[in-house]
Amino acid sequence: MSDLLTAEEYKAIAAGLDLPTQAFVDGSFRPARSGRTFDSVNPATGALLAKVAAYGPDDVDFAVQKARDAFEDGRWSRLHPGARKEVLIRLAKLVRRHARDLAVMESLDSGKTICDCETVDLPETIHCLTWHAELIDKIYDQVSPASDNHIAMVVREPVGVVGLVLPWNFPLLMLAWKIGPALAAGCSVIVKPAEETSLTALRIAELAMEAGVFNVLPGSGPDVGEPLGRHMDVDAVSFTGSTETGRRFLRYAAESNLKEVTLEMGGKTPAVVLDDAENLDRVAAHVVNGAFWNMGENCSASSRLIVQKGVKDALLDRIKAHAREWPMGDPLDPQNRVGALVSAAHFDKVRSHLGKGPKVVMGGSAEAGFVEPTILEVAPDAPQAREEIFDPVLSVLTVDSFDEAIALANDTEYGLAASIFTANVKRAIRGARAIRAGTVTVNSFGEGDISTPFGGFKASGFGGRDNSIHAHDQYTQLKTIWVDLSDDADEAVA
C-alpha cells in the first residue's frame, strides 16, 4: 500500500472505476422508490462523478424492517462468535484486495489526497475491521459475587438495529470505526453516509454481502438521517458530525422511542507549547501535521496554537518552514499533501472566515475549492479561535504563563483532543490532567490508536467512545441473569 503510483496511473484507474449509485439493502443494490437522485461531484474539478439514488422516509422504513427481520431471525445476531469473526476477517481481506480502487474512489469523492488515502485511510480501515473481528471471541461475560445459593451472570447482548450516521471527512475510516464493533457485537446496521461522500460506503457494503445485515442508505439528513433518528424500530444511533446535528439526534430520540444515542462531534483542539519545549523543529512538524493534515477537515485538528511568548517567534519560523513542505494541488498527484475542500458550500464557508481582521502570518489564498495552508494571529475571542471551521488554518494565540495557557485551552465549548509540548514531566502531567478533553497527547499530535478510546467532553460528545474495547459498549446492552440454586423455597424467598 505504501508503493505509490504516478498521477497518470491514478487517473487511469479513476477513468476505469465502476461507481456504485444505488442504495444497498438486504443484500442487493436497490433504487430509491421515488426515483430521485443527487449528484456526487469531484470537489477538485467540479466534474460530475455519478448520480446517486436519494432515499426517503419510505425507503428508510423498508430498510429498517429488513434489518429488524435479519436481527430477529438470528442469521447474524445469534451466529457463533467465531463464525462472525471469520466473516469480518474475510471482509477485511476483500477491502485489502480492492484497496487501490477504494483509495482512488475516496480521493475522487472527497478531495482527499491520494497519498493520505493510500498510506493512512485504507491501511487503518483494514486494521480497524481486523482488530474488532479478532476481539469478537475475546470479550468475556461476568459472574457477580452473589451468595452461595445464587449465580448472577452479567451478559452482553447486541442492542439490535443500529443507525450509523457518518461524516464526510473520513468516509472509509469512520465507516470502519462504526461497523467494526457494531457487526462484531451482532447488530444489524443501517449506514447513512454523508451526501458528499457516499460512494465508498456503498462499495464496502457490496463487499460485506456475506454478513447479510449491512445496509447503506444514501440521501439527505432530512430524508434519511432524521427518519432513522426518529424510527421506533431503530434501537440505537451512533453519530459522528457537527454538534448542531448531534443535538438534533438527541431530540429525535427524546421524541420517539428513547433509543440510545452516541455522539462524537466537534472540536477546537489546542496545541499548547510551553517555553521549555525541547526541539522546536520537531514541535513545529507536529503542529503543522495537526493543523493541515486532511486540509484541516478533522474534528481533532490542531486549529489553535497556544504558545508562550518566549518561544513564539522561533516556533513560528520553524512552522512556516515545515508548512512549505505541504504542497497543494490535484489530489490524485501523490506529490501533493493538501487537496480540495470537500464541497463548494464548505469552500465558501471557509473562505468567508479568511481575511476577517486577523494578521495573516502565512498563506491566506483560496481559489476554486482549494485553500492553502494558512497561519493567522488572532485574539482569543476571534471566530477563528472559537468556531470549528474545518479548514487548513492555524490560529496562533500568545500567552505569558503555564496557567494562562491551560485556562485558554479550556476556554471553549469543545473538549475532544489537545496536545501539550514541554520538557517538564510534572507540567506535562499537570497540564494533561487539567485540560478537559477526551484525548491529550504529550509532545506529539495524535489520537492514540485502535486500542485506545476516542471521544470527547462537553459539546464534543458523549454516550460512548469509538475505538478500543470500549467501542463495543455502544452496540451491546447488559443483562443480568439471576439463578436461584437453593433447595428450600422459604430460604429462596428470604
Q: Which residues contact 271 (CB under 8 A, 6 or more apart)?
A: 286, 287, 290, 291, 302, 304, 305, 306, 418, 419, 421, 445
Q: Are 49 and 19 in contact (CB under 8 A)?
A: yes
- Rounded CA gap, 211 and 205, in Å? 9
Secondary structure string (H, E, C) spanning 334-400: CCCCECCCCCHHHHHHHHHHCCCCCEEEECCCEECCEECCEEEECCCCCHHHHCCCCCCEEEEEEEC
- Rounded CA gap, 237 and 239, in Å? 6
Catalytic residue among 196, 264, 377, 388: 264
For 39-103, give the DSSP string.
Answer: EEE-TTT--EEEEEE---HHHHHHHHHHHHHHHHHTTTTTS-HHHHHHHHHHHHHHHHHTHHHHH
What b/e sequence results for 39-72 when a residue is b if at least 16 CB atoms lie within 10 Å of its CB, and e otherwise? ebbbbbbeeebbebbbbbbebbebbbebbbebbe
Q: Are 453 and 468 in contact (CB under 8 A)?
A: yes
Is residue 299 annotated as a catalytic residue, yes or no?
Answer: yes
Q: What's the grid cell of residue 375?
A: 497561519
Catalytic residue among 115, 117, 128, 299: 299
Q: Are 43 and 110 in contact (CB under 8 A)?
A: yes
CA-nearest of 208, 228, 210, 209 to 218 is: 228
222 alpha-carbon distance from chain centroid: 21
What residues are labeled active site? 264, 299
